[in-house]
Amino acid sequence: MTKPAAREPLRRNSRSNRARILATARQELGRNPDVTLEELARAAGVVRRTLFGHFPGRPALLEALTEEASETLKEALVRGARPEEPAERALAYFVLSIWPVGDRYRMLLGLARRDLGAERVTEVLAPAREAATAILERGQRDGVFHSHLPPAVLSAGLEAMTVALLEDVNTGALEDDGTRTAVATLIAAGVPEKRASAVVEEVAAVFPPEEPAADA
């Protein structure tokens, strides 16, 4: 019988392989959404059997990436939550906190909709949508944001704009660390351009965009 001490290096190696496969998948799927699992195994430096031992098929791999994205997004929302701040600053904190997550997982939305279904994507994005809607509702109530659209509808429009800007980053049409998108978001919500730029500059100075934790 294998002793626990002997099993621990195997478990560490297994965790390391899994993390490397997921990190490679994020990169390679961003370059080629139709990359095969065999190609991913080679890129990750593992044999085919190792990859399939962790992820028996493409849906399993995408589900693991989706779960990883979901947890990372939740952590970012906690980090960026500023209920005590005025709504315009709270919205800037929100955008700057989630931008690195969107940048890291921007390839995932389309793939998850295609392979896992729209309901799974909705489940992942629900916490961010609820947080954004709450900030917009507060800002409308305080007269900071325009009110000709309901908060949930305005939130959906801002989300679509953010996804479009992430795609522009993906294609190289835009370079952004999140601050340009934060300014655009505030302007779209009804904050005058100069004020939006000043708010984002103030917030970014004390809360710079933060990359998700490095892979193990």
**How much is the pLDDT for 71?**
92
Residue spans of beta strands (DSSP E) within the chain: none
| Residue appearing with tokens 């890291």 | 104
This prediction's pTM: 0.82
**How much is the pLDDT for 2?**
53
**Domains of the chain, first to last:** 1-56 (1.10.10), 62-206 (1.10.357.10)
- Minimal CA–CA distance to 159: which of 117, 119, 122, 129? 129
**How much is the pLDDT for 94?**
96
Cα 152 from Cα 130, distance rounded (Å): 8
Q: pLDDT below 70 — which residues of the chain?
A: 1-11, 208-216
pLDDT 10s digits, 143-202: 999 999 999 999 999 999 998 998 888 788 999 999 999 999 999 999 999 999 999 999
Amino acid at 127: P
**How much is the pLDDT for 88?**
97
